[in-house]
Amino acid sequence: MDSFILNSPLSPFPIFPKSLNPVKSCSPSNIKLNPTKLPIYSRIPSKKTEKCNSLFCLTPQGPPPSITQSLSVSEKVQSLDFEFKSLPQPIDRVKRLLHYATLLPPFDESSKIQENRVMGCTAQVWLNVKMDDNGVMRFRVDSDSEITKGFCSCLIWVLDGAEAEDVLMVKTEDLIEMNIGFQSRGNSRVNMWNNVLISMQKRTKILIGERGKKEEEHKTLEAFSSLFVVNGGCKETKSRINRFGKLLKDNSMNELDMLTKNIT
């Protein structure tokens, strides 16, 4: 059976093995078939991953990680779509997902709290979302179901490290090929990865909002501080700045007005 495998990075792992059936219409042109080399993923120092080699009947060799690492979110989505389209047999999809489950980055046990639960899943799913200072999203997911973990692993590969705006661009329909077998195509309370994706996007939106607020706060504070500097010598300066910060946070615009009136 000839098949070839495209390697792509699964953060934080350097390589994300993928195999593609020779479905002509969806074979990216930059894939090289090289059945003689050792599988790249077997170099990943994980016991679990090594066991999964049997999944892939031919050894993979793809573009160097540096190239695949720079795939955009939409390119990654497309590549997942290709990959799962090329696996018409449900069992192969299940196997692939179970393999990806083994590549899921570790989840901090202390984050397994109620607030981090993704609801509406038949299995338990926890999601931790953070945003870097520069607006890059960090996702960690865990589940008690291995198949769900596999789905989550794919989502993490696509979205972890992406710009917040790019996270919001991903649509359920784009990833519909990940469904195994006859699972309903639309939103369903058992459609696990769809719920996880939606939660990732919801939490991203909230974080974008918070960042926006913070930036505004920061700007206003800066403006006021310069005002105080100009008016220098005022004993109250520091405490006032602190109070400004708090009022801005609380949205207490009336009081803020009063305070600024005092200054000018």
CB of 98 to another protein, least distance (A): 5
Compute CA distances 264 → 213, 227, 231, 251, 260, whole Å: 25, 9, 9, 21, 7
Stretch that binds another protein, among 32-40, 62-70, 143-151, 238-246 (CB under 8 A): 143-151
Question: Distance between CA atoms of 95 and 107, rounded to whole angstroms?
Answer: 22
Whether 234 is catalytic: no
Residue 160, φ and ψ in degrees, nearest 5: -65, 125
Stretch that binds another protein, among 108-116, 153-161, 180-188, 215-223 (CB under 8 A): 180-188
132 in contact with another protein (CB under 8 A): no
Nearer to another protein, 98 or 241 (CB): 98
Nearer to another protein, 117 or 138 (CB): 117
List the catalytic residue out of 26, 57, 121, 234.
Answer: 121
Q: How many CA atoms lie within 13 A of 229 on its CB side?
A: 6
Residues in 24-63 that interact with another protein by CB under 8 A: 51-52
Burial class (CB within 10 angstroms; exposed 0-12, middle 13-18, buried 19+) of 225: middle
Question: Distance between CA atoms of 157 and 104, rounded to whole angstroms?
Answer: 9
Which residues are known catalytic residues? 121
Query: Which residues would be at the binding site for another protein (CB under 8 A)?
Result: 51-52, 90-91, 93-94, 98, 122-124, 144-148, 180-182, 192
